[in-house]
Amino acid sequence: MNDGAFVDFFLNTASLPDQNSIVSALQSMTKKKIAVRFVSKFLSTDLHPHNRRIVEVYLNINQLHGKSDDMSRVTTAASRYERIKTVGKGAFGSAVLYKKRDDGSLVIVKEINMYDLDSVQRQSALNEVNLLSRIDHPNIISYYDSFEEDGILMIEMEYADGGTLAQYLAKSQTFLSEEIITDLMVQMLSAVSYLHDNSVLHRDLKTANIFLTADGFVKVGDFGISKIMGTDTIAQGAKTVVGTPYYISPEMCCGEPYNQKSDMWALGCILYEMTCLQKAFEGDNLPVLVNKIMNCMYEPIRGPYSSQIKLLVRELLLRVPEKRPTASEALTMLRPSVNVQRPRSFRPVSTFISTVYTFSASTISLHPVQNFPEKVSVRQISVSETHQLILTYSNEVYAWGQNSKGQLGMGDRVDRKTPFLVPTLRGRDVHSVSAGNGFSLFSCDRGAVLACGCKRFTGLGKGSDDVLRPSLVNALLRVNVVELTCSYEHCIALTEENECFVWGSGECGKLGTGDSQHVYDPTKITVPTSVGRVITARCGIDATVLLTETGHLIAMGSNKYNKLNLACRTGFFSKEEKVNVECFSLPTVMKTFPARAIDVDVGRNNLAVILESGQVFFFGCNSHGELGLAHTDVVPLCHMRPVKSLLSKPCSMAYCGDGYSLVGTTESELYFWGSKGIVRSSIATLQNLDDTKDVAVVQRVANEEKAVSRWGVKRKEKLPAVEHIVPLPALILRLDSDLSEYKIRLSMINGRGENVFVVIDSSNSKSIINTSENSPNDNDSTIVNTWLKNEFENAEIIPMSAQKRKAGKGRNSSVASDDIKIQMSESALMKEIESLKSAISQQSSTFQGQQDQMTALQEKLLELQARQAYLRNHEPPPAYAKKTILFPENGSKTCSIL
């Protein structure tokens, strides 16, 4: 035995009562310097100085026979994860940071020694695992996997690389902007609302348990003492006093039963701390602190914040729990909800007209469709790579584009470059239209379905020919179709009886039939019923998504780039299995979102989901920045975050283009991000673009030709190929309709491939005013009453001297000059008031001098009110609009004097 040797004892308990005696006895048996260790953590990698598991020091795991599945899971994890560092240690365990080798994502693995815990602490640790496994929200720390071996509980969870909110506030030297506070608070309220809706109390909300990511997302964590609310808890409230003293509610201080309103109190304390950079309730000892909490004694907010923020703090810190708002109510107070489910028309059919534009991603511009019919109200537009269809509110169908298969329904194969009315559909009550590549579908009254175009996709059978005029789909005559949609080469029909029929290409399993075979006739498929009735469908080039009445999504087809968000993340301790996550040939329920999904768009490589809350989620490829994350890196699996730049915008429509994304809001704003295309530019142009904040330039390395040909002739150098990428949502269109007489709004976005169309509705309110009763004809002869006519003819002429007339003019001019002087001084006074307001709002780090400024501002406001009162007392009566002349003008001398 050499110096520095180790003598290790493997224990199945945490420790031995006579460890010291054993160590002394062994060391006295030799003159060598040896170390004696008692090891109970067989799988821990923190064993000094080896920094690897003790079993790997003595045993070759690969040659062990009958090794357990748990051990194989650990060795599999070592091959898939790289250990980075220990980020934290506590009394009962440690937290180790690992990096996943395949996608570079970081995870935290908590290692908790269960032998060092008492029964209550062990229950707390297991409770955290239980809760995390049930929770799935973008603003809550995600749980990935857990594993227990030899008394060591390991929990794998999401890593928040931005620290905690407490650390962020401690570093802040000046007041946070209201925009930042609102952004953080909205995310916290969204997470807490989700917890409460799922009957979970957090019970330990504080700034130290609010984690942040590097890109500014909030992650609520530390669910060790959270409680699942059962029937008794909801009715009577919880009773165990837990949590941090600075954030506990008055009812918890009194030992009274509490419920989710105690979490709202804690959020009020957090909001106060963000606005004042200090805790709402502080005291030298616990009795003083409890007394302040019981009496709601906190300093008023003095920072430069709106009354909306201050009101929310006051409402959250009310003494009576029942008076505090719920999380959803507080969310509405902070960000007023809007109905993002846009109606099919915001005015009656006769009061607005539609204009259709084509969208160009390379130039970020809109161009009106040539020869588009005038005074048309667009109800629906459907776009394919070959042609376009438009349905109006007057029940007319317009079509244009290629017509080689008869897909325009005109009865011929002649292409149309501009919109033409489809004569074969006149007189039919068309409910919806849908355009595919080389075919068209029409849903009519009583659930009838018409089809025309390519024989492979019309649903009329395998032996049919191309259909040049819309014809009935016989296979659907016995059902009442309420929703009809198609994409490039497949179709979906939903019936009144909650049945789903499919036909067309089954490539990638997008039909949900269980295989990839082509289906010529409408075929019924089985759809999961556990998430409610299917109300609409969206089709892409290789995938299909069904939307249910409960706001859940059911997907089938290609999951390339995980655009359907169906791939499950392989846990740290899970066995490495080869599972096909590229294609799902059967309808599969997608993960639940924080709110009800109300609309979906399925692109070639991406998927967009609009929620009832106005948030928008994007999934899939990010090589061109399509996800709006300000980078083009690969996104790890289970990435479920809304577009952060649009959190404050009520998003209502989205489109997934080829390499870019479009989102429209209920405020008639249109946002763009992603690739504008690949072009060849000079070095000077690249340098100019690099200076532009909103555009990133990515140089694509292509297989360029050699500089010298095989004949020795020098080739002409090509300009470098660059891709212009807009990394974050950029506003490209805003439609303002503040004028009461004119209304304009963004109506819809639709497209396929390079064919993208934007519909804008406009309305002139004057057209809806009925003027027939208020505007008599000027040619009408109006009869004047006899008594009035006699009064004018017999009126006495009262002469006025020139001196009085001149004096009257002088008085009027002096009064007018005084009014002008007062108005000029009022303008200067307004400027002084605005400058004082600006000085007060810019004061962020100190309150010195604020009282004097506030006093001066009050004096100026009083002076302004006095001046305005003077003007009101001396101003002439309001001028009335000129009335319609009721009788011919009388040019007599009497009328001239009057």
- Locate 650 and state its tokens: 């009520």
Please state the length of the chain.
898
Q: How far, in Å, CA of 126 to CA of 143, rounded?
A: 13
Rg value, the chain, Cα: 37
Q: Which residues contact 778 (CB under 8 A, 6 or more apart)?
A: 884, 885
Q: What CA–CA distance (Å, rounded) separates 770 from 774?
A: 8
Evaluate the omega torsion of the peptide bond into residue 49 and state whether it is cis, within 30 degrees of 0: yes
Pair of tokens at residue 334:
């902070």
Are 108 and 97 spatial neighbours (Cβ–Cβ below 8 Å)?
Answer: yes
What whole-number distance in Å separates Cα of residue 619 and Cα of residue 639? Answer: 8
Contact 185, 250 (CB under 8 A): no
Q: Output the DSSP codes for 490-559.
A: EEEEEETTS-EEEEE--GGGTT-SSS---EEEEEEE----TT--EEEEEE-SSEEEEEETTS-EEEEEE-
Strands 34-39 and 5-10: parallel
Residue by residue, DSSP assigns 864-889 as HHHHHHHHHHHSPPPPPPPPPP-SPP
Nearest residue to 646 via CA among 748, 727, 728 = 728
Q: What is the dihedral of CA 836, 838, 841, 843, to 10 degrees?
A: -80
Q: How far are the Cα atoms of 73, 568, 570, 573 from residue 577, in angstroms, in the given order? A: 11, 12, 9, 12
Rounded distance between C-alpha atoms, residue 731 and residue 662, angstroms: 10
Cβ neighbours for 57, distance < 8 A, ≥ 6 positions apart:
8, 50
204 is catalytic: yes
Check if the beta carbon of residue 628 is closer than 8 Å to that of residue 728.
yes
Name the residue among 250, 270, 253 with its Cα closest to residue 261: 250
How many contiguous H segments (helices) and E segments (strands) does the chain have?
Answer: 17, 39
Catalytic residue among 8, 69, 145, 204: 204
503, 521 contact by CB (below 8 A)? yes
Residue 165 DSSP SS3: helix
Both tokens of 861, joined, read 């406001």
Please state, as a whole number, how many other Cβ atoms lie within 10 Å of the Cβ of residue 482: 17
List Cβ neighbours of 232 (8 Å cut-off, separation of 6 or more).
none
The greatest distance separating any two alpha carbons of the chain, rounded to the nearest whole angstrom, comes to: 144
Positions marked catalytic: 204
